[in-house]
Structure formats: structure tokens, C-alpha cells
Copies of this chain bind each other. A is one copy, B any other.
Amino acid sequence: MKSPIDFYFDFSSPYGYLASERIEALAAKHQRSVNWRPVLLGAIFKVTGTQPLTFVPLKGEYTRRDLPRTARFHGIEFRMPSKFPIATQAAARLVVWQRGIDAGRCAPLAKALYRAYFLGDRDIGDPDTAADVAAGNGLDLSAARAAIDDVVLKDELKRDVDAAIAAGVFGSPFVIVDGEPFWGLDRFEQIERWLASGGF
């Protein structure tokens, strides 16, 4: 088995959600596993001085049109949530929590959280809702709820975000393959070729 692909994402990122529906198949096709690495764009945007796509004049309107179109283009179900963006600490901490217990649960948990938000319009920014989604994904409800408030997990996520920034991550989705960075769902074709040929 070759080294895993690092998949960085923020739970409030619509393009991150779309990518989350494709990253595993892409990796598996090339005998790779995926490290699911939730980040907090709020912290990252403080470094880059940028802001959420939908807040930018002109770009915001475009994005609201491009997102459902891009979802249709890829055949992925998508619905813009009524509350957007949201705080994503709760959802991210749940993934960090499971990584320390059973890393194999990170992918189904992350996808369940993303789908709750981008298909079910559930506000996973709310700790109780996020824990409830985790419970619906087979985890213990009270343990999940406690994990969200766990200071150790909070610090671990903070270190993760700092490490992501140090690795050059500035958006979501962001994929690093053997040190090579790829930003955006738009780069999945390049990732595909990179995985197939070891670079180009």
C-alpha cells in the first residue's frame, strides 16, 4: 500500500462536500487510503485575508449558481443549506475524536456529517445536532456530545489546523499527494493523472 492521500476539508465548504463524495473512489482506484483532515477555514482565512466565497461581491452570486450546476455535472445530490456558513468546530472535533479511537470510522462519520448539512439541511454547527448525527452513524450519543467539549480534542484540532496552514492549506477541499498540493474539486483530474503516473 502506498502512502495515504491527505484530504483537507471544512464542514461548511460546499465544494468540500462535493469532493468528499468522490475522494474515496479516486484514492481506491490507485490503491491509496485517505486521511480525513477537518480544518477550520475561519482560522485559515485570518492568515490569507480572504473570506467565504459567497460573501464576495459578484463571486457570491456566481457561486450560488455554480454549486448546484457543478453538483449536477458530477451527479452528486446537493442542496444549499438555509444557514450558511456555520461554525464547524463541533463536527471537526468529532472526526478528531474518532481518529484516536478507530480511524476507520472517520470517513463514514465525516460523510454523514456533510450529508446531514448539505442534503438534510441540519445545522451541524450546533453541538447537539452534530452529536446526534454521530449517534445516527453508530456512535454513542453522550460520548460524542462530551467529545465536542473535550479540551484535549479541542487542542488537537487547533494543532491540526496550524499544521495544515504550515503545509500550505488555504482552502477546502485541499488534497496533498506525496507532498504535491491540489486545491479544489477542479483539480481531481490532475490528481488522477498524478496518482496514475507519479507526477507529470
| Residues of A that sit less than 8 Å from B by CB | 44, 47-50, 56-59, 61-62, 65-66, 69-70, 72-73, 165, 168-171, 181-184, 186-187, 189-190, 193, 200
Contact = CB atoms under 8 A, between A and B. Distances in A.
Contacts of A50: 50, 56, 59
A91 to B, nearest CB: 23
Given A47-B57, A56-B49, A73-B193, A65 B200 contact: no
Counting every copy of the chain, the complex holds 2
B190 A73 contact: yes
A171 B65 CA distance: 16
A62 B181 contact: yes
11 contacts: A47-B57, A50-B56, A58-B165, A58-B168, A58-B169, A61-B168, A62-B181, A66-B182, A66-B187, A69-B200, A186-B186
Given A184-B186, A190-B73, A57 B49 contact: yes
B200 A73 contact: yes
Contacts of A200: 69, 72-73
